[in-house]
Amino acid sequence: MMSKTTTALATFAALGVLAGAAHAEIRLGVSVSATGPAAFLGDPEAKTIEMLVEQLNEEGGINGEEIALTLYDDGGDPNKARTFATRLVEDDEVVAIIGGSTTGTTMSILSVAEDEGIPFISLAGAISIIDPVREFVFKTPHTDRMACEKIFTDMQAQGITKIGMISGTDGFGASMQAQCKEVAGEHGIEILADETYGPQDADMTPQLTRIRNTDGVQAVLNPGFGQGPAIVTRNVAQLGFEIPLYQSHGVASDAFIELAGADAAEGLRLPGTALLIADKLAEDDAQYDVVTTYTEAYKARYDQDVSTFGGYAHDAFALIVDAITRAGDSEDPQAIRDALEATDGLVGTTGTYSFSPEDHLGLDLSAFRMLEIKDGDWLAVD
Amino acid sequence: MDALLQFLFSGLTVGAVYALVALGFTIIYNASDVVNFAQGEFVMLGGMITVFAFEAGLPLPLAALLAILVTSAIGVALNKLAIEPARGAPVVSLIIITIGASIVIRGATQLVFDKQLHRFPSFSGDDPIHVLGATILPQSLWVIGGALAVFVGLWIFFTRTLTGKAVLATANNRVAAQLVGINTGWVMTLSFGLSAAIGAFAGVLVTPITLVGYDVGVALALKGFAAAMLGGMGNPKGALLGGLLLGCFEALTAGYLSSQYKEAVAFIVILGVLFVMPQGLFGSKSTERV
């Protein structure tokens, strides 16, 4: 009995230090890949959540209760992610989990969350996370399929019907390549050439030459990630293509323009989020307030530019806070889940979320903005 | 026709990158029979240090020189701190040490620099040169020229200089080399310093084409190693031609067959060559004397 009390006191004290207060607390669990190969995803995600928890607690928390954050770094390893998810549920007794920077780690956390009945918001892209719908699993990033649809919609508007694709063989490129091929028909797009390249390849001119020599190709689409798309963009410029080039949301960052070179990237289009053009949003834009607040706070705190990935974490946190506020009961995961599913019109940095029992992603194509690179900068074209 | 030429230009560009990495393997291999799997990391360091020195305001040639000197020092340190203490260990153990070293260098680079991709401007601009309907970037010519220059330098070093012959002698028989007055410890230090410098030089030349990040070394080392095996380990001529051949196989497969199979075809060709000529195209037959 005595030892139990001591443990309880020690835990209480530890949590008190973490949250800076000794009132009732809302225990929130996070497991992201802050280091390792997916660090470019997890690092801004972890930073974003730490910043937002601090801000919220300074403002007095949710209904007077502060948030006690437990954040683990799974290093991109699905096995670790599973261990941490179990620890979050059993030892840290959290009421909700945010995390799973990659589809692999998400799948590990997802099974724990489903078994234990803890609401979980994933930060990974794959459509299989929310299709079929799982009771306790939600996600904030848009899917590859939506990116394909957004691109094809734009192509249709340009009168483009026949395209060539060149995709990376990495996980992202391969998944998007498959999704695009699936939805191309629905948009009246015919894929005449379908080439691939390895994620570390240094030159893609042979594949691009094949695409150029294919009769009738009106545009090139490059689903990919990392250095591949930058090299493809440079090679397209080198070969003097006269047809438009579309990139994916995988490279929607300012660093991409720098890597590809402003001259080579001139005129290319890709679907991106409002976050990327934060400084160009109109003041009456629905996302103006949330995007500006987040980018300014992040820049002030870390002296770094925001990324789309940090935005996913921002939105996941906003969704949880909103759900707990409406649930009115910060102790009951089931009530939080139900409130989460009833989310309607929550404006995030990625888009506007409205969940339903059939839809645990809650975004539509309007979440993507078609961007064009013009004079080394982004230009919203729709 | 212009397609074939374009494929060949691409093959030569990529092949010259492989060749530069493969050339870096030769000196250490010739001095100690060790295949240095940290060679890719030397290439990566050459690129990364140049990027950060250039962004800090140094002119590009100075940044490149700094990168080559620093990487060379890291190569010497690798020999002093990890290889020399294990002297007398079998070659396989030394190779495993170099794999460990490559992991350490990658980790340290993540911490010292960052995890992002980087690039610095091409030396002579990005305007493609048109030849008979095909195009090649000026930077590709720099890489091809660099590979040729390193090849000529190494060839002269190994065949015309006393030091180069001392390196070869050390590899042949360390005890005998010591008996004729060769300072074998110094030869090892020299070979690591030179290999690292060649690696860094390669990194400086290829970064405008391949881009650089802390983890690009692994793939480069693997392709460079394949090129060196194809041409014959330890022979500069083999490294150069092995690299160019590998690049051209890949480009022609991607161009005429399918980009899905380009690496598979390249490796099948290498396997085929090694079945018939286990020493590679230009490798000297080694005879074990008992």
In a domain, A254, yes or no: yes
Pair B61, B186 in one domain? yes
Pair A131, A55 in one domain? yes
Pair A124, A154 in one domain? no
In a domain, B290, yes or no: no
Pair B107, B185 in one domain? yes
Cβ atoms of residues A217 and A243 within 8 Å = yes
Pair A338, A376 in one domain? no
The predicted structure's pLDDT at residue B151: 92
CA distance A164 to A222: 9
Q: Which amino acid is located at B55 in the chain? A: E
The predicted structure's pLDDT at residue A148: 92
Pair A348, A237 in one domain? no
Q: Which amino acid is located at B158 in the chain? A: F
- The average pLDDT across A213-219 equals 91
Pair B237, B101 in one domain? no
The predicted structure's pLDDT at residue A150: 92
Q: Which amino acid is located at B60 in the chain? A: L
- The average pLDDT across B62-70 equals 96
Pair B127, B227 in one domain? no
In a mutational test of the A interface, the residue from B117, B141, B143, B206 whose CB has the highest number of chain A CBs within 10 Å is B117
In a mutational test of the A interface, the residue from B244, B259, B260, B262 whose CB has the highest number of chain A CBs within 10 Å is B259
Pair B209, B220 in one domain? no
Is the confidence at residue B242, as pLDDT, over 50? Answer: yes
In a domain, B261, yes or no: yes
The predicted structure's pLDDT at residue A321: 93
Domain carrying residue A151: 144-278+368-380
Pair B86, B122 in one domain? yes
CA distance A221 to A150: 12
Taking the Cβ of residue A197 and every Cβ of chain B, the question of whether any pair is shorter than 8 Å is answered with yes
The predicted structure's pLDDT at residue B287: 52
In a domain, B175, yes or no: no
The predicted structure's pLDDT at residue A1: 45
CA atoms within 13 A on the CB side of A310: 24
CA distance B51 to B39: 19
In a domain, A284, yes or no: no
Candidates A173, A135, A315; CA nearest to A251 is A173
If one counts the domains in chain B, the total is 2
Report the percent of chain B where pLDDT is more than 90: 44
If one counts the domains in chain A, the total is 2
The predicted structure's pLDDT at residue B42: 95
The predicted structure's pLDDT at residue A219: 93
The predicted structure's pLDDT at residue B87: 77
Taking the Cβ of residue A227 and every Cβ of chain B, the question of whether any pair is shorter than 8 Å is answered with yes
In a domain, A201, yes or no: yes
- The average pLDDT across B214-233 equals 88
Pair B203, B255 in one domain? no
Pair A193, A123 in one domain? no
- CB atoms under 10 Å from CB of B233, counted, come to 23
Candidates A110, A23, A94, A63; CA nearest to A322 is A63
In a domain, B166, yes or no: no
CA distance A315 to A313: 5
Is the confidence at residue A6, as pLDDT, over 70? Answer: no
Q: Check whether the bond before A132 is cis (ω within 30° of 0).
A: yes
Helix, strand or coil for residue A272?
strand
In a domain, B165, yes or no: no
Please name the residue of chain B whose CA is at the shortest distance from the CA of residue A210. Answer: B255
Pair B202, B227 in one domain? no
Pair B185, B270 in one domain? no
In a domain, B13, yes or no: no
Cβ atoms of residues A67 and A21 within 8 Å = no
A263 vs B contacts (CB less than 8 Å): 126
Is the confidence at residue B290, as pLDDT, over 70? Answer: no
Contact: A234, B126; criterion CB under 8 Å: yes
Length of chain A: 382
Cβ atoms of residues B151 and B11 within 8 Å = no
Candidates A119, A60, A26; CA nearest to A330 is A26
CA distance B40 to B61: 22
Candidates B155, B187, B197, B199; CA nearest to B31 is B187
A210 vs B contacts (CB less than 8 Å): 3, 254-255, 259
Pair B99, B189 in one domain? yes
CA distance A15 to B125: 57
**What CATH number is attached to the domain comprising A79?**
3.40.50.2300
The predicted structure's pLDDT at residue A17: 46
Pair A170, A183 in one domain? yes
Q: What is the mean pLDDT of chain A?
A: 87
* β-pairing verdict for A96-99 and A120-122: parallel
The predicted structure's pLDDT at residue A268: 92
Under an 8 Å CB criterion, which residues of B touch A? 3, 6-7, 9-11, 13-14, 17, 115-119, 126, 128, 135, 137, 206, 209-211, 213, 215-216, 219-220, 251-252, 254-255, 259-260, 263
- The average pLDDT across B234-243 equals 90
Pair A136, A42 in one domain? yes
Pair A12, A101 in one domain? yes
CA distance B50 to B68: 9
The closest CB to that of A261, out of B17, B115, B126, belongs to B126
Q: What is the pLDDT of residues A75-92, one digit of tens each?
A: 888 999 999 999 999 999
Domain carrying residue B221: 216-282
Measured in degrees and rounded to the nearest 5, phi and psi for residue A193 equal -130, 140
- Burial per residue of B81-99, b for 16 or more beta-carbon CB atoms within 10 angstroms, e otherwise: ebbeeeeeeeeeebeebbe
Contact: B128, A238; criterion CB under 8 Å: yes
Cβ atoms of residues B217 and B124 within 8 Å = no
In a domain, A283, yes or no: no
Residues 6+ apart with CB under 8 A from B221: B21, B37, B38, B39, B40, B41, B43, B102
Pair B56, B136 in one domain? yes
Pair A185, A305 in one domain? no
Q: What is the mean pLDDT of chain B?
A: 88
Please name the residue of chain B whose CA is at the shortest distance from the CA of residue A237. Answer: B128
DSSP B192-231: HHHHHHHHHHHHHHHHHHH-B-TTSHHHHHHHHHHHHHHH
Q: What is the pLDDT of residues A32-65, one digit of tens each?
A: 998 877 788 888 999 999 999 999 999 988 888 8
pTM recorded for the entire structure? 0.82
Q: What is the pLDDT of residues A97-125, one digit of tens each?
A: 999 898 889 999 999 999 999 999 999 88
- CB atoms under 10 Å from CB of B176, counted, come to 11
Pair A20, A106 in one domain? yes
The predicted structure's pLDDT at residue B2: 72
Candidates B266, B96, B284, B119; CA nearest to B204 is B119
Pair A197, A122 in one domain? no
Cβ atoms of residues A233 and A268 within 8 Å = yes
Which residues, numbered 19 to 38 in chain A, qualify as contacts with chain B under a Cβ-Cβ cut-off of 8 Å? 37
Is the confidence at residue A169, as pLDDT, over 90? Answer: no
Measured in degrees and rounded to the nearest 5, phi and psi for residue A109 equal -70, -40
Cβ atoms of residues A181 and A219 within 8 Å = no
- CB atoms under 10 Å from CB of A347, counted, come to 18
In a domain, B59, yes or no: yes
Cβ atoms of residues B39 and B221 within 8 Å = yes
Tokens for B240, please give them: 């150069």
Position A21 confidence tier, pLDDT thresholds 50, 70, 90: very low
In a domain, B288, yes or no: no
Pair B230, B119 in one domain? no
* ipTM score: 0.85
- The average pLDDT across A321-338 equals 89
Pair A341, A257 in one domain? no
Contact: A207, B259; criterion CB under 8 Å: yes
